[in-house]
Amino acid sequence: MIGQYDAQTKCLVALDSIIFGFDGEVLKILLVKRGIEETSTTWSLMGGWLRPEEDLDQAASRILKELTGLENIYLEQLYAFGAPDRDKISRTVSIVYFALINVVDYDERVSDKYEARWFELDKLPALLFDHGDMIKMAIDKLRYKAAQHPIGFELLPEKFTIPQLQKLYEAIFNTTFDKRNFSRKFLSTGLLKKLDEKQRGHSKKGAYYYQVDLEKYHSQFNSFLNFTRVNTNS
Amino acid sequence: MIGQYDAQTKCLVALDSIIFGFDGEVLKILLVKRGIEETSTTWSLMGGWLRPEEDLDQAASRILKELTGLENIYLEQLYAFGAPDRDKISRTVSIVYFALINVVDYDERVSDKYEARWFELDKLPALLFDHGDMIKMAIDKLRYKAAQHPIGFELLPEKFTIPQLQKLYEAIFNTTFDKRNFSRKFLSTGLLKKLDEKQRGHSKKGAYYYQVDLEKYHSQFNSFLNFTRVNTNS
């Protein structure tokens, strides 16, 4: 490779994962209480070191499992953080991953045995190193994606009501939307399939369950492309 | 941090940058002929090692300048590559950056003095390590972005004609679009400002120059968000 060999630096490589969870009301992040010292009360993302035999994805998954018990979670690489002084003890470049999960599905698995705990986005504790910046970037990415096209269905149960979907969007954007208009506009995307079944116990009338039409959902990811492609045939 | 200290591994960290350029006809990538040995004819991305005092962005910019003379190019971080065997000599994690530039503006600066050369996308030479995978991912990202909303204006001169814009889109997607429909649909986005000036010499009639309405352009990046936000007021 290129560059002065004597000017290069060997680094530790860390993997830090941000796990977003939605419990039907608020958006949360999973953190572990393990700082530099045993007595530390600093909270941290799901972090650990890269091992010689691993690639980056494998290491991120292995670390998440070790710290929380969570397996088979789709982790997406977000960004590499490498400020020279981000870890004062040893020069470390951190590759950050993130995942969206439905808290209810996974809550059992992360309790007790592990020191991991869910925190609401606006009630985060003191965080290790630049983990606050990492979380901020992940939230920005989540909002950017949700602004481009409907996302976040991973955060909901397989079947969900429109009020649940609205709560998720309100949690992501930290705002409120008008009920009737939110519902009307989301239904007009044609992405949701109405089921025959109603949710019971939340209101007298009950709200219908919906599912995402995954085929339509994935094709709409290329909306502008389709828009230009159509031109060649019209 | 977390993890068994004896299981960790120190790595070299490399920065590799993919420079996309458009010359008005085809999309190109800038490569340097510097492999592992002096005699090698392998071509490489703009790559080098991270130094102790640098953060990742600084290192990527410094390396690009050393190899090509190019300065003040906006480099966007793409992805970290870290397969254990990607560099056989020393374990290296590579952080990949990419940039879009207009070849005509920069051609003088990268010639002669440096070993960098532009290659057309479909005529790439043998590449070092996993640099082919890196380029493939960057092209996918470019296409994904261009499919979501109009992009790539960095690749064009400040004022450009609709045929130039169409050539860029055809180069990105490696396809052809119907002339009249492409023009009509792009104008209907309201993103382009028509200038009074015409391009001379390309056709009898001459094509009008356009500029991007940057304010509108940036606000449309949040199209779906605006779409949902509007609901609260309507």
Q: Give residue-wise pLDDT tens across range A189-217.
A: 788 899 999 888 767 778 899 998 878 77
Number of alpha helices (DSSP H) and beta strands (DSSP E) in chain B: 7, 9
* Shortest CA distance from A148: residue in chain B: B224
- Look at residue B17 in the predicted model and tell me its pLDDT: 97
- Look at residue A15 in the predicted model and tell me its pLDDT: 97
Q: At residue A232, does pLDDT exceed 50?
A: no
CATH architecture of B151-231: Orthogonal Bundle (1.10)
In CATH terms, are A2-129 and A151-231 the same topology? Answer: no
How far does B190 lie from chain A, in Å, by closest CA?
A: 14
Q: At residue A157, does pLDDT exceed 60?
A: yes
Residues of chain B with Cβ-Cβ distance to A52 below 8 Å are 9, 84, 91
- Look at residue A113 in the predicted model and tell me its pLDDT: 67
CB atoms within 10 A of CB A6: 5
- Look at residue A142 in the predicted model and tell me its pLDDT: 87
Report residue B42: phi and psi, to 5°: -75, 140
What's this model's pTM, rounded to 2 decimal places? 0.83
Sequence spans of domains, chain B? 2-129, 151-231
Q: Any CB–CB contact under 8 A between B48 and chain A?
A: yes
Domain A2-129 top-level CATH class: alpha beta
pLDDT band at B2; cut points 50, 70, 90: very low
Mean pLDDT, rounded, for B19-30: 90
* Shortest CA distance from A226: residue in chain B: B147
- Look at residue B194 in the predicted model and tell me its pLDDT: 92
Residues of chain A by 3-state class (helix, strand, coil), percent to 5: 40, 25, 35
Nearest to residue B154, comparing CAs of B137, B172, B136, B140?
Answer: B172
Residue B100: alpha-carbon gap to chain centroid = 3
Question: Left, alpha or beta for A85 (phi > 0: left; psi -120 to 50: alpha)?
Answer: alpha
| Minimum-distance CB partner of B3 among A49, A81, A146 | A49
Are B80 and A80 within 8 A, CB to CB? Answer: yes
Instruction: Please tell me the number of Cα atoms within 13 Å of A83 on its side-chain side.
Output: 9
Mean pLDDT, rounded, for A24-31: 90
